[in-house]
Amino acid sequence: MLRTICGPILVVLLSVTVAAAQPVNRDGQGAKRAASGQRVTSAGKRLANEFSGKGPKIGDLLPDVTVYDADGKEFKLRQVKGHYTVIVSGCLT
């Protein structure tokens, strides 16, 4: 399956316009991609800069936010504990 459910349009994904600016705290993948010659767009840079300065950091707890499950029942994000958990955000477009 593909890398994102809410990223740029398919063609943009293939043209690697925004992926080049991906900052990855854990593995430094953004630098690796930039070094490979992929284009870094201004939109990608902006997103990367915004993301690097916002949101939780490594070692932080998840935000204390209540969202909903697929049936509309409240779901506290911080109840996610006791095992390793992957959280990916996305949408239909």
Partner 1 sequence: LETVCHDYAPKGVEFFYVYKALAHPETNGYVTPFTLAERLMQVKEAERRLGSKFTWLCDTMSNDLKHALGNAPNSEFVVDPEGKIVVRRLWSDPDQLRKDLASLVGAVDPPTPVSALHLNIVPPPKVAARGVVPRLKVPGPTKPLIIHPRESKTPYYAKLRAEVDEGYLKTGKGKLYIGFHMDPIYRVHWNNLAAPVHFELTPPRGVAITPTSGDGPKVKEPADIDPREFLLDIEGKEATQPIQLTVRYFACNDDEGWCRPVTQTYTIDLAVDPDGGWASARHRRPPSKGNRSGARGARPGRPGVRPPGGRGPAQLMARIRANDKNHDGKITRDEASPMLKRFFDRIDADRNGAITREEVREFIKNRGPSDSTPRP
Q: Under the criterion CB under 8 A, does residue 37 sit at the interface with partner 1?
A: no
Q: Under the criterion CB under 8 A, does residue 40 sit at the interface with partner 1?
A: no
The whole-angstrom separation of Cα 85 and Cα 92 is: 22
Rounded to a whole number of angstroms, the minimum distance from the CB of residue 34 to partner 1 is: 13
Measure the CA dihedral 19/25/27/31, to 10°: 50
The whole-angstrom separation of Cα 38 and Cα 19 is: 8
Binding residues for partner 1, per CB under 8 A?
A: 1-16, 18-19, 21-27, 29-30, 33, 39, 47-48, 50-51, 54-63, 65-72, 75, 77-78, 80-93
